[in-house]
Amino acid sequence: MIELDEQQQQARDWFESLRDRICAAFEGIERGAGSDAAFGYTQWDRTDADGGPGGGGVRGLMRGRVFEKVGVNVSTVAGRFSEEFAPTVHGAGEDPHFFATGISLVAHMANPHVPAVHMNTRFLATTKRWFGGGADLNPPIPYDQDTADFHARLRAACAAHDQTFYERFRKWADDYFYIPHRGVHRGVGGIFYDHLEGPFDASFAFTREVGEALLDIFPKLVRRRMETPFTDEDKARQLEWRGRYAEFNLIYDRGTSFGLRTGGNVDAILMSLPPEATWR
């Protein structure tokens, strides 16, 4: 059991409460579709490289009629970065000790007309303390209305805290969620931010706003599209798009790299991969 200070405990408690509400909302969608699917939870523990307690987390996973595969994970870990990895992490160059807590969500949908979604928010402490994360929409078959509504909700979340956030973080997402070797973006964007230091209370409040925005808008998009008829061609398009998604997560995603290089739970880290994909 790792010891947490007040800020670390507040962040962990929030991520766990958000997980519980998101999972309840997604299970409610499944019940509305006539499915009894529910999240199964797997706890995992981490031992730090020096043999001390390193924290752990809980992986929540559901497979249902609407959500072909959705994972909602919360992890809280601490320890020491390797000498090679420490200089690449904000504030860890002088002292490799770290603390990290966060929530990660990836939903792959059964109906190709329903967009997949990703959301991650986190709090890290090295010699510096900061929040990071974001949310982005990943439709195999994009709809302008869904894209506009998703971005409008994120724009409102940003505007409640800083009028410059949305344009800055939207562009950051566009730059980050790009697959250079394919020359395409992973989806239709969203927001991405990192190293949000500032006063803890303000940065924490914004991070909570991002989580609330996702919980508000995504279930509406799912219900809008989940009964849309689809063809074999639509499904083939979804599976090929998922291949691009997998390529990004395995090659470029920072969260995947961070988890694997800090001794995280492999099943939880690779939860983001789709259940099925094709490469032509």
- In the block, tokens 């973080």 appear at 169
Bridge partners of 61?
Answer: 40, 71
Q: Which residue has the higher pLDDT, 88 or 9?
A: 9
Mean pLDDT across 73-99: 90
Name the phi and psi angles at 234, rounded to 5.
-65, -40
The whole-chain average pLDDT of the chain stands at 94
Give the burial class of 64: count Cβ atoms within 10 A of its Cβ; 0-12 exposed, 13-18 middle, 19 or more buried. buried
**Residues 208-253: pLDDT tens digits?**
999 999 999 999 999 999 999 999 999 999 999 999 999 999 999 9
What burial letters (b/e) apply to 161-177, b meaning 16+ CB within 10 Å? beeebbeebbebbbebb
**Residues 109-129: pLDDT tens digits?**
999 999 999 999 999 999 999
- Catalytic (active site) residue 118: yes
Q: What share of the chain is helix, strand, coil (3-state, %, to 5)?
A: 40, 30, 30
Mean pLDDT across 20-31: 98
Pick the catalytic residue: 118, 151, 161, 185?
118
pLDDT, position 267: 85
Percent pLDDT > 70 in the chain is 98
- The SS3 assignment for 12 reads helix
Of the pLDDT bands very low, low, confident and very high (cuts 50, 70, 90), residue 94 is confident
Distances 89 to 97, 131, 213 between C-alpha atoms, Å: 11, 13, 28
Half-sphere exposure (CA, 13 Å, Cβ side) for 275? 14
Task: Write the DSSP symbol of residue 70.
Answer: E
The domain segmentation of the chain, as residue ranges, is 6-272
DSSP structure string for 220-241: HHHHHHTT----HHHHHHHHHH
Tell me the residue length of the chain: 280
Name the phi and psi angles at 78, rounded to 5.
-155, 160
Of the pLDDT bands very low, low, confident and very high (cuts 50, 70, 90), residue 5 is very high
- Enter the CATH code of domain 6-272: 3.40.1500.10
Residue 53 clears pLDDT 80, i.e. is over it: no
